[in-house]
Structure formats: C-alpha cells, structure tokens
Amino acid sequence: MAEQQTLDCPFCGKHIIKIMYYHKLKITRSCRGSGTTRTATSFSKDRVDFLTGCSNCGRSKEEVEKEYNNQYKKPSKEDIIKRLREAGLDPSKLK
C-alpha cells in the first residue's frame, strides 16, 4: 500500500517536500516440489521515494534525499561508545 505524504525540508524547515511512502508488506508464496507444497513468507521493508525537491530553498530531490538518509541512519558502534563516554558513562559497565 502506498500513500503520498509531505515532509519538512531538512535545509529550510518548510513542509513542502512530496514523497511516496510504501508500507512494510508481508509476501506469501507457494513453493512446489515433487509431491509437496510449502508456503514461504517474507517481508518487504518500508520504502520512501522522493517526488519533488524543495521549491522554497531550491534544493533538488537528490540533495534532499541524501540529507534525509544521512539524518535517519543508524549510528555505528563507535559513535555510540563515543557518546556514552562524553556523557560520563562507562560502556563496559552497561549490559
């Protein structure tokens, strides 16, 4: 299922970037062998397609998509340890 939404521009903060958001789907397939049939289930990931860039600040959709992906990426293990040490916590005593 897909739906069109609008997002805030990561550069200027206006709510004018149009995206197409595809929800996570459960995909079921039938696998047939010699005399047996089995059902295989898999899941697709959420997907975001950028339809427009920002008309307010003039950024292209490629620039907005790159900034959006960098903004919401998962931090690496080294970044997490660095932030914990900056906060005054000892990462070895956690867990």
pLDDT of 7 reads 83
User: Across the strands, what pairs with 37?
Assistant: 32
Residue 14 clears pLDDT 80, i.e. is over it = no
- For residue 74, give its domain range: 2-93
pTM exceeds 0.75: no
DSSP H helices, the chain, are: 61-71, 77-86
pLDDT of 69 reads 80
On whether the CB atoms of residues 44 and 36 are closer than 8 A, the answer is no
Sorting pLDDT into bands at 50, 70 and 90, what band is 23? confident
Query: Could you give the CA distance from residue 21 to residue 27 in angstroms, rounded to a whole number?
Result: 18
In the chain, the number of structural domains is 1
